Amino acid sequence: MIDEHTQYRYFCADIADGIDLVFKESPRWPQVYIDVADINDNSPFFLPDTRTIQLSELSSTGTAVLLPASHDADTTANSVTSYHLNAAAELDEDSGIVDRSATELFSLTMSTKLDGSTDVKLVLVRELDREWSDTHRLVVTAFDGGQPRRSGTLNIIVKVLDANDNRLAAAYDNFVEREQSQSL
């Protein structure tokens, strides 16, 4: 506690990990260092918190899409330490069915950049099929390492774009049309 009545002249300088108070008026005066300890008073969040991704159903496995960055104003262990991928519960608003297959189609990869921040990518690990499902909804949850830990979520909507990958069916339809026209 700084008391103006007992000590009114002092030099104060901010440093990266706390506040450094140095009394310079006399070498007999003590040097006082105050480190402000971080507490986990901020939750992780994504900006933006929803991302729509369009992927062709012919996208090859290994296709990776960079996701929005997570943020947490706290430091070190109180900042983001892990990410989890889940299927969104609200896939089908009428039935409430969870798209469990979404987590079989996609995974997450994390890589640390030179500045210490983390790139999180959504990676396709199995082939898509628009004729089976044209939309997949997932949720990425970022957890910090605080006690108790806090979290923030990113909603992902994957739109599967059509490709002409049903040539046998198309050929069969053409064959039937020819047969029908010849029999007339």
- Contact residues toward Ca ion (CB under 5 A) are 38-42, 72, 74, 78, 144, 162, 165
Closest CB to Ca ion among 98 and 165?
A: 165
The minimum distance between CB 90 and Ca ion, in angstroms, equals 26
The minimum distance between CB 7 and Ca ion, in angstroms, equals 29
**Half-sphere exposure for 176 (CA within 13 Å, toward CB):** 6
Distance (Å, whole) CA 130 – CA 34: 60
DSSP states of 118-169:
EEEEEEE-S---TTT-SEEEEEEEEEE-SSS--EEEEEEEEEEEP----HHH
The minimum distance between CB 170 and Ca ion, in angstroms, equals 10
The minimum distance between CB 173 and Ca ion, in angstroms, equals 14
**Half-sphere exposure for 31 (CA within 13 Å, toward CB):** 7
The minimum distance between CB 31 and Ca ion, in angstroms, equals 26
Distance (Å, whole) CA 107 – CA 111: 14
Give the dihedral sign, CA 65/68/70/71.
Answer: positive
Contacts of 24 (CB under 8 A, 6+ apart): 10, 11
Closest CB to Ca ion among 72 and 99?
A: 72
Closest CB to Ca ion among 66 and 77?
A: 77
Closest CB to Ca ion among 58 and 88?
A: 58
Closest CB to Ca ion among 99 and 144?
A: 144
